[in-house]
């Protein structure tokens, strides 16, 4: 695993992405805040193969009002997927380049970056590409949003600030 897992408070489970293209869901035994560090301290609840390519992107939790929590994750095959906390793929969209970074999720949309140098904004409800911006070089970093500006590091050796 190259990606950072996330802990889901609603389910008391840890979700992780693997280089084998699968998503994993683990349930910690005992108090997850005081791990014993012993092997076998977590139970594998499910494993779902979601991609035939490695997943280096860390899954980002997405919560929509009235909906159950889901996650958005990119993969080396150039697809971004919205996945339920049970491992079901709700949608997937081709963003035109490998996604190594973690998506930045808001209520209505997510921002993903690609190694092809694209910043892509996706509609969280159905995966529709809302907008795309081509940068001068590859992007391996995650984008962040602050005060209406999208910040992202690029292989052109600059951090770019784009107004949303």
Q: Express each pLDDT in 87-145 by its tens digit.
A: 899 999 999 999 999 999 988 899 999 999 999 999 999 999 999 999 999 999 999 99
Number of structural domains found in the chain: 1
Strands (E), 35-128: 42-49, 60-62, 70-74, 79-84, 89-94, 104-105, 109-113, 118-123
For residue 147, being part of any structural domain is answered with: yes
Is residue 61 situated within a structural domain?
Answer: yes
| 1 assigned to some structural domain | no
User: What residues does 136 pair with on adjacent strands?
Assistant: none
CATH of residue 115's domain is 2.130.10.10
Domain of residue 57 covers 6-163
32 in any annotated domain: yes
Q: Model-level pTM?
A: 0.88
């Amino acid at each position: 695993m190259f990606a950072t897992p996330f802990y889901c408070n609603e389910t008391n489970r840890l979700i992780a992405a693997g280089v084998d293209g699968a998503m994993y869901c683990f349930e910690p035994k005992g108090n997850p805040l005081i791990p014993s560090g012993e092997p076998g301290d977590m139970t594998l609840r499910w494993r779902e193969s979601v991609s035939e390519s490695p997943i280096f992107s860390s899954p980002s939790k997405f919560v929509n009002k009235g909906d159950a929590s889901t996650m958005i994750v990119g993969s080396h095959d150039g697809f971004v997927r919205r996945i339920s906390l049970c491992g079901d793929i709700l949608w997937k969209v081709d963003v035109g380049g490998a996604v190594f970074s973690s998506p930045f999720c808001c209520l209505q949309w997510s921002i993903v970056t690609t190694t092809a140098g694209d910043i892509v904004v996706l509609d969280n409800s159905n995966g529709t590409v809302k907008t795309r911006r081509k940068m001068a070089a590859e992007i391996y970093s995650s984008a962040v949003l602050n005060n209406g500006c999208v910040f992202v590091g690029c292989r052109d050796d600059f951090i770019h600030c784009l107004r949303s």
